Structures are given as structure tokens and as C-alpha cells.
Amino acid sequence: MTGRSLSTNQDLDPARLREVFGVFPSGVVAVAAEVDGVPVGLAASSFTSVSLDPPLVSFSVAGTSKTWPTLRRARHLGVTILADHHDRACRQLAGPVGHRFDGLQLTATEDGALTLDDGLARFDSTIHDEVEAGDHVIVLLRVHAIEHADTSQPLVFHRSGFGSISRIA
């Protein structure tokens, strides 16, 4: 066999892994809820659709997250697929906890699922399962309601930067 070899004898340090994982482009979601009357949430690029029947989606949250222990107490969780104009909102949603929702237009359901009004799509969900996976927890969410605006393009996260899709053939 010819070609470039893939050596198993490499140092898989976190910085290098983050760099290489970042080659894979993804969208970004906001996972949020009102807990004890206070908006709680974070930005996550690990969102994936999982199952149609039952309807399931997932995201992974770091075991070190200070937000997740509070957020997981919510009765329902809102998931918003961020649009390409949400780059600043996204950094804010990942930033200092007290300012994550500053200036954002939000709607909460009676069950506390919190979503951004101008997102590309929104889900009302509950936790279906949590699976420990290394230094993260894979959170499986059961979807109860969906809304799809379809008016703008998704925010794309790639190599630690934000962009948008210019053309899909």
C-alpha cells in the first residue's frame, strides 16, 4: 500500500485534538431554559440529530460545565439552531454567565424551555438520557415540539471561527 501513513504513535494532546476536530464544520445551537425563574444556557456545536422515532437529538457537554448541573434540572430544555447573524450572540452564550442572554429576544414555554426568537429552528425538549463519554456527557434530548423559520442561513463553526454557507450545490 502506498500513500501517507497514519502513525498511531502520536501525542494526542487536547490542543492538537481540538485543532483537528475543528476541521469538521458544524452548526451551533443554544441550549437554554428558565430554572427558578432565571435564564440558564450555553452555546454548543456538538448538536446532532439522532432519531426520528422517537424524535431525538443530542449534544455533548463538558464534565467541567458549571451550567449543566443547573440546566439539567429544568423541566424542559429549549434548543435553538443559530443563524449566521448570531456570531456575537454565540460568543455571548458561551461567555460570562450573568450576561449570556443580554439583548437577546427570547421566548419561554410554560415548562421553561427557552429559545431565541430569531433562530433558524427551535425545539422544545426533555432529557431522554445522559451517557458519560470521556470528559463529556452525551445528552440525548426527546423532542416535543419544533418550529422552523427557514428565513436565513445557519451559523457555521469551523476552525474556531464563524462563517456561513455560501453555496450548497
Ligand X SMILES: Cc1cc2nc3c(=O)[nH]c(=O)nc-3n(C[C@H](O)[C@H](O)[C@H](O)COP(=O)(O)O)c2cc1C
Q: Tell me which residues touch ligand X (CB under 6 A).
A: 28, 42-46, 59-62, 65-68, 90-91, 94, 97, 157
CB of 43 to ligand X, least distance (A): 4
Count of CB atoms within 10 A of residue 102's CB? 10
In the complex with ligand X, which residue's Cβ is closer, 89 or 113?
89
User: Chain centroid to CA 79: how far?
Assistant: 8
In the complex with ligand X, which residue's Cβ is closer, 94 or 110?
94
Q: In terms of Cα–Cα distance, which of 116, 141, 114 is closest to 39?
A: 114
> For residues 35 and 4, what is the distance between their CA atoms, to the nearest angstrom?
51
CB of 166 to ligand X, least distance (A): 19
CB of 59 to ligand X, least distance (A): 6
In the complex with ligand X, which residue's Cβ is closer, 9 or 121?
121
Tell me, what DSSP letter sits at residue 93? H
